[in-house]
């Protein structure tokens, strides 16, 4: 029996990128709580939901900038770079549909769920990278 070891994934600035991923994941979960709050009748939570959503756009932008800025010095796998780009696009879609005042909830909510899926995928990549490096 032969065992194959997974190919080492390369991630630019893995600790910084992991922190950005974790903060974004926490922010998305807080967004769900805020949405539940204002749908339950507490309208002040709607402004918190909108403001936090606008802030959360900067995290995938920072992640993509880090990946591109360190591309020559610390090249990373194409899948990780593609994941950063897709995450930014999906987060922009979530924010854009959120600003439509409920008109595009059929896109807003599934896109937010997709954001969580992408973040889980990125976290799995970090875990695999850390295990391979040990």
Buried b (16+ CB within 10 A) or exposed e, 91-116: bebbbebbeeeeeeeeebeebbebbe
- DSSP secondary structure of 94-120: HHHHHTTTTTTHHHHHHHHHHHHHHHH
Give residue for tokens 């950063």.
84
pLDDT at 46: 86
| 99 pLDDT higher than 70 | yes
Give the single-character DSSP code of 71.
Answer: T
Per-residue pLDDT tens digits for 41-88: 878 888 898 899 999 999 999 999 998 998 888 778 888 889 999 999
| Structure confidence at residue 9 (pLDDT) | 66
| pLDDT over 70, % of the chain | 91
């Amino acid at each position: 029996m032969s065992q194959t070891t997974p190919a080492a994934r390369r991630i630019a600035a893995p600790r910084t990128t992991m922190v950005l991923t974790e903060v974004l994941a926490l922010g998305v979960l807080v967004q769900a709580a805020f949405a539940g709050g204002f749908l339950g009748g507490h309208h002040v939570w709607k402004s918190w939901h909108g403001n936090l959503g606008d802030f959360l756009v900067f995290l995938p932008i920072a992640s993509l900038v880090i990946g591109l800025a360190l591309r020559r010095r610390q090249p990373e796998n194409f899948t990780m770079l593609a994941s950063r780009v897709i995450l930014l696009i999906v987060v922009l879609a979530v924010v854009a549909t959120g600003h439509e005042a409920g008109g595009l909830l059929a896109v807003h909510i599934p896109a937010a769920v997709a954001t969580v899926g992408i973040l889980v995928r990125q976290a799995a990549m970090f875990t695999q990278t850390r295990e391979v490096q040990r």
